[in-house]
Amino acid sequence: MLVYIKLLLTAFFWGGTFVAGRMVAQNVEPYSASFLRFAVASVCLVFFTWKMEGNFPALKKNQIIHVILLGMTGIFSYNIFFFKGLKIIDAGRAALIIANNPVFITLLASYFFKERLNVFKLAGVAISVTGAIVVISRGNPLEILSGSLGWGELYIFCCVLSWVAFSLIGKSVMSDLSPVVAITYSSLAGTAFLFIPAWYEGIAFKMLAYSVSDWLRIVYLGFFGTVLGFVWYYEGIKKIGPSRASLFINFVPVSAVFLAFFILKEPVTLSLLTGTILVSSGVYLTNSNMSGASVRGSS
């Protein structure tokens, strides 16, 4: 029972990162916010890794470049686009766009790794993408064709591309490292690269002027939204399996929209509500193990 509560809280924490990120992005520059989030996360991850693994395994020479790539995609670029996007668009809309991560990972994994797609997964892809289009276009898909979408949506979509790259790189080259070790090293690498642009943003001087609220949100993003969520999620995978654990991902966009409504007073429009239902349903089908006619990805 406890593992299910932890997974539900993980989805809640991850949904909350969009609200906290939206608030931080208004007062803290993107490189500085990204660096501080993962400086907090890296310290905590090192502690958790030592505790969970019993030691801190050294990297092999051929793993160093892979860790750097993971840090540059999943930590460096993802978070820069995350904070840039949330400075412009609502947290709920951003969460629903990013919720399509599993869909694009599934599609590209079928192409690069020849993973099989059944009709349920294909239906999930179609439904989820449709939901994203509804959200991005605010219920008017012709806006996409007319090119009237803003930079905020583009930045958040780049988050999706960054996370897909991170996931595929990790799948292909980090199989001999445990998830917590891989994410710890990639977090350390990404944080190191984020320090340079954060320094040029003036973080050494500006951080003294951040409010207590901003610091609390940064700590939330680093610890609850990154470390605790990650540890609990992989604890769930270990105890109940990846299929059942991954179903809780469906609650992330729902919790983000819910929290954005109550905390940020963001309106729940018909297009946002429709998109939430479509995206969550599509992600569920994409992650499901239902049987059906299969289609092998082709290169």
The pLDDT tens digits for 182-221 are 899 999 999 999 999 999 999 999 999 999 999 999 999 9
pLDDT of residue 214: 97
What is the gyration radius of the CA atoms in the chain, in angstroms?
Answer: 19
What is the structure's pLDDT at 299? 44
pLDDT at 117: 77
Q: Nearest CA to 259 among 211, 298, 215, 220? A: 220
The sign of the torsion formed by the CA atoms of 102, 103, 108, 111 equals positive
pLDDT tens digits, one per residue of 91-140: 998 998 898 888 888 888 787 777 777 888 888 888 888 888 888 777 77
pLDDT band with cut points at 50, 70 and 90 for residue 291: very low
Number of structural domains, the chain? 1
At residue 145, the pLDDT reads 54
The token pair that represents 31 in the structure block: 């490189």
pLDDT value, residue 292:
41
The pTM assigned to this predicted structure is 0.87
- Would you state the pLDDT for residue 146? 55
Percent of the chain whose pLDDT exceeds 90: 47
Rounded to 10 deg, the angle between the 229-240 and 30-53 helix axes is 40
Q: Indicate the angle between helix axes 91-98 and 2-25, nearest 10 degrees.
A: 120
Element (H, E) at 207: none
The arithmetic mean of pLDDT across residues 151-161, rounded, is: 92
- Cα(139)–Cα(271) distance, rounded to whole angstroms? 5
Three-state SS for 7-19 is HHHHHHHHHHHHH
Beta-carbon count within 10 A of 196 CB: 10
3-state SS assignment for residue 121 = helix
Q: Provide the domain limits for residue 171.
A: 2-296
Rounded Cα–Cα distance for residues 297 and 299 (Å): 7
Q: Is the pLDDT of residue 283 over 90?
A: no
Give the C-alpha separation, 287 to 261, whole Å.
27
Mean pLDDT for the chain overall: 86
